[in-house]
Amino acid sequence: MSPTSWRSRPPSERAILAGRPGRSERPGRSERDGEGLAELRLLAETAGADVRGEVLQRRGPIRSSTFLSKGKIEEVRALSAEQESSLLLLDEDLSPAQSRNLEAELKMKVVDRTGLILDIFSRRAHTREARLQVELAQLEYILPRLTRMWEHLSRLGGGIGTRGPGETQLEVDRRRIRERIAKLKRELTRVVKERRVQRRGRRDCFKVSLVGYTNAGKSTLFNALTRAHVYVEDRLFATLDPTTRVFAAGDGERALLTDTVGFIRKLPPKLVASFRATLEEVAEADLLLHVIDCMEPDIDAHINAVEGVLESIGALGRPRLLVFNKLDSLTDEVAALGLRARYPGAVFVSALTRGGLPELREEAMRTLRRNSNGGARPNERRGGDP
């Protein structure tokens, strides 16, 4: 794979999906009925792909050289010929060698999960901060792949036009990428500092951050609670940049609410690291509102994925309130009662119909007061940085 080739593809490239069925997928379904890899399909569509079929690799040992078994590779080959597709999107992270082997066997472009998520982020990054963060993650993803690609060329026997010039070109490319990475890191360090200064200015306020799986409805809830107009879309990663607004005020106290980037299962660690400037806000919040889509079939997997990211950014210890959103869609009374019984401390809302919002605001403020030094207001609290 040319590391950058898939970034410049036309908007609706025909794609075949492959991966292991998720835990929430129902057994016994056919592999082409569109249910097997629901999240990958959403990611693919968000990236602008025209999904033409799915191939499921059942549980069991994988073929280490290509991840997919020989039989599955044949299936992908047949399906892609039938659908005239030249792109395979894999729901797993491949080593550089695996993606190279798979591309060689299939003679089609292969993009793994991290590659796909990075592609979506690069399409979504509009502000300077987001672009810096995404570019850093992309270059760090590309760098080891570049190395392996050129090593592979050298191993093929070198000879005229490959070995000598190949190695030279590899060194040049690697040096350029390393230099760019160093420059991006310096710029991001400046962004981190700017954000810290901004937050210092808000020391006297309670700080609340919305966190949650992508598409859970964080931005919709943010708009409903603050009357802001943050962009909302039924696609993944609509939000990359944080926005902060006043969300409650009164009795000499103010709480600020921040909407930020959503999380997903297997969010690339490099991407999380690159988003340090954005995610520090979360790590320093007085309260996290963990928004969950109550229609999600595997709620616990989503909660675990979010907690995994929170842990990796040092925010798992922050006070947290579970907020089940989209209650308007949950028409099954028994399921609604079941959820309330399973998560007794949670708040249930509909950002769309604004149901449950007063209760959420009250519960959030109650939790903030309880956690802030025995009821003192934020400007009376001890301590330096917010």
Ligand X SMILES: Nc1nc2c(ncn2[C@@H]2O[C@H](COP(=O)(O)OP(=O)(O)OP(=O)(O)O)[C@@H](O)[C@H]2O)c(=O)[nH]1
- Contact indicator for 368, 286 with CB cutoff of 8 Å: yes
Q: Is 306 in the site for ligand X (CB under 6 A)?
A: no
**Residue of 189, 329, 373, 379 interacting with ligand X (CB under 6 A):** 329
- Contact indicator for 47, 117 with CB cutoff of 8 Å: no
Residues making contact with Mg ion (CB under 5 A): 218-219, 238-239
Q: Which of residues 219-278 bind ligand X (CB under 6 A)?
A: 219-220, 232-234, 236-239, 262
- Residue 230 gets the label, from left (phi > 0), alpha (psi -120 to 50) or beta, of beta
- Part in contact with ligand X (CB under 6 A); list of ranges 166-174, 190-198, 211-219, 298-306: 211-219
Positive/negative CA dihedral, 304, 310, 312, 316: negative
**Residue of 177, 191, 246, 352 interacting with ligand X (CB under 6 A):** 352
Question: If contact means CB under 5 to 8 A according to the sort of partner, which of Mg ion, ligand X, none does residue 113 touch?
Answer: none
- Part in contact with ligand X (CB under 6 A); list of ranges 98-106, 152-160, 214-222, 332-340: 214-222
Smallest separation (angstroms) from Mg ion to the CB of 131: 18
- Part in contact with ligand X (CB under 6 A); list of ranges 52-60, 98-106, 155-163, 208-216: 208-216
Q: Smaller CB distance to Mg ion: residue 218 or 318?
A: 218
Smallest separation (angstroms) from Mg ion to the CB of 259: 6
Q: Smaller CB distance to ligand X: residue 234 or 333?
A: 234
Q: Smaller CB distance to Mg ion: residue 82 or 233?
A: 233
Counting Cβ atoms within 10 Å, is residue 277 exposed (0-12), middle (13-18) or buried (19+)?
buried
Q: Smaller CB distance to ligand X: residue 101 or 239?
A: 239
Phi (first) and psi of residue 289, to 5 degrees: -95, 105
Smallest separation (angstroms) from Mg ion to the CB of 340: 25
Question: If contact means CB under 5 to 8 A according to the sort of partner, which of Mg ion, ligand X, none does residue 99 touch?
Answer: none
Question: If contact means CB under 5 to 8 A according to the sort of partner, which of ligand X, Mg ion, none does residue 351 touch?
Answer: ligand X
Q: How far apart are CA 163 and CA 154, in angstroms?
A: 5
- Contact indicator for 360, 347 with CB cutoff of 8 Å: yes
# residues near ligand X by CB under 6 A:
23
Smallest separation (angstroms) from ligand X to the CB of 338: 19
Smallest separation (angstroms) from ligand X to the CB of 307: 16
Question: If contact means CB under 5 to 8 A according to the sort of partner, which of ligand X, Mg ion, none does residue 181 touch?
Answer: none
Per CB under 6 A, residues contacting ligand X are 212, 214-220, 232-234, 236-239, 262, 325-326, 328-329, 350-352
